Structure 1
Amino acid sequence: MIQPPSRTKFYLDKRHGKLMGVCSGIADYTGLDVTLVRIMFVSAVVMSGGSVLPIYFIAGFIADDKPRELALEDQRDEEHQRFWQGVRQSPARTARDIRSRMRNIDRRLADIESYVTTENRSLAREIEQLR
């Protein structure tokens, strides 16, 4: 049985990459700008005397390419892409945000339910007029 691609896994982004897609994959994974990631990588290479380069190539050979279906989804819906980047960066914060949104929706639904179920003569009149 084939498993669907994971949204929380690191993938190479060869479509937007320059060499092997490692920097663009890191940018996609973290939500940082790809140019900033490339500048940080070049700075790391210069400061380390080139000892970071093997890590780059190892990551390029080991990591999987970004599945086509994920790339197509990300192109269509930028908000969806930002959500999953947030999940990867801080799952706990994302869960808190979702719980907060659900509490807000629940409160609003309770207000609507209360308004509809209480005896509201003007609402009853309006409904009767619509019939």
Structure 2
Amino acid sequence: MSARRTKFYLDKRNGKLMGVCSGIADYTGIDVTLVRIGMILLTIFAMGPIGPLVYLVTGWVASDKPSEFADSPEDAKFWQGVRAKPGSSVRDVRSRFRDIDRRLADVEIHVTSHNRRLADEIDSLR
């Protein structure tokens, strides 16, 4: 079974301790430094001794990020958008394909039109 891109994974390559905070940052798209600071502040002011326990359990239960998910920043941003709002990402992909299809149709019309100069240039290339 292949790994899912919409699942939470530990990011041990960019992590400091167990990769939990960097996994949360990768999953949500928030800067990892802000996630780490937020985790420390939550532990101090809200969760107390439960914070480190939750961190350790998460680091123990969650699986590592598969190596095939080492994406470009553009791909990582796309998948973060899919996790946050799956409906809007589908809409964006459809919009991109419509735009590509429209531009391809414009090129096809230009190439197949009865443009004498273009036909002469194509013949000269042969």
Q: TM over 0.5: same fold?
A: yes
TM-score by length of 2: 0.86
Change (3 A) 1:120 1:34: same
SS of residue in 2 equivalent to 1:52? helix
CA distance in 1, matches of 2:78, 2:102: 23
Within the candidate set 6, 9, 29, 1:8 is matched to 6
Aligned residue type for 1:16: N
For residue 43 of structure 2, what is the aligned residue in structure 1?
A: 45
Which whole-Å deviations, capped at 9, do the CAs of 1:101-120 have from their partners, x for residues lacking one? 11111111111111122222
How do residues 9-88 of structure 1 correspond to structure 2 at under 5 angstroms? 9-50=7-48, 51-70=50-69, 73-74=70-71, 77-88=72-83
Aligned-residue sequence identity (percent) comes to 58
Give the Cα separation in 2 of the matches to 1:126 and 1:9.
53
> Per-residue displacement from partner, 1:16-70 (whole Å, max 9, x unpaired)?
2222211111011111111100111111112214133332222122111122332
Please list the CA deviations of residues 61-84 of structure 1 after superposition, one character each: whole Å capped at 9, or x if unmatched: 2111122332xx23xx22222222
- Give 1:61's aligned amino acid: W
Query: Which 5+ residue runs of structure 2 have no aligned equivalent?
Result: none
* Structural RMSD (CA): 1.7
> In 2 relative to 1, CA 126–17 (structure 1 residues): closer, same or farther, beyond 3 Å?
closer
Bigger Cα displacement from structure 2, 118-127 vs 104-113 = 118-127
In 1, the alpha carbon distance for the partners of 2:7 and 2:38 equals 22
Runs of 4+ deviating beyond 4 Å: none
Whole-Å separation in 1 of the counterparts to 2:124 and 2:16: 66
* Gapped regions of structure 1 (runs ≥ 5): none
Partner letter of residue 52 of structure 2? L
